[in-house]
A and B are shown apart, each in its own frame.
Chain A
């Protein structure tokens, strides 16, 4: 019940296309869903996050779509650029967890080709 399942494992998108990465969870006690971006040799960095009381959040070219009933959330990258090539991780936090510990998906390696 602590798992967050992420797909696909890898993704190749043409420059200018839309990249879509999906995550699913079982535990309805999760109350915070961030996406992290990781470039090779670097630590993950927070990209965008959403709470379950909203269905969508947009920041620039990045959008999180959240479906509470389906227990799924996804990251959409519009107008994908080669600089977006990185590994993306979804994560989730349990409500009431004083540690704010995050449970991470296994990651999606995105390659944007010119």
Chain B
């Protein structure tokens, strides 16, 4: 079946612009995560959605970052007024009942 998909695969933006990154989880997966992966670093948790519950936003690094999940499916991560330190790969993962998280291929964001 189809895995987690993310778009765009690459995004180059100018400092100060807003960007939106999209994640389509595996159908039926109720849990959705966003991670940030800086070059040579591990995965940094950003935000978690579970069904209709309030999201866990504890990993968002600043108020420039926000995310929403519409209809319990597609999610959008928005970064406002992008900074060069926001350059990274942004990974989305979804999960069903088990512990296993299934990752998408990521969006590589470059802020110039």
Contacts A89-B43, A100-B31, A106-B42 given; indicate if A44 touches B56 (C-beta within 8 A).
no
Which of A6, A99, A106, A107 has the largest count of B CB atoms less than 10 A from its CB? Answer: A99
Asked if residues B41 and A102 are in contact (CB atoms below 8 Å), the reply is no
Q: How many residues of B contact A (CB 8 A)?
A: 23
> Contacts of A102 on B, CB cut-off 8 Å?
43, 45, 101
Q: Would you mind naming 30 contact pairs between A and B with Cβ atoms under 8 Å apart?
A: A32-B99, A34-B99, A34-B100, A41-B105, A43-B4, A43-B103, A43-B104, A43-B106, A44-B103, A45-B102, A45-B103, A46-B100, A89-B42, A89-B43, A93-B99, A98-B50, A99-B31, A99-B56, A100-B31, A100-B99, A100-B101, A101-B33, A101-B45, A101-B48, A102-B45, A102-B101, A103-B45, A104-B42, A104-B43, A104-B44
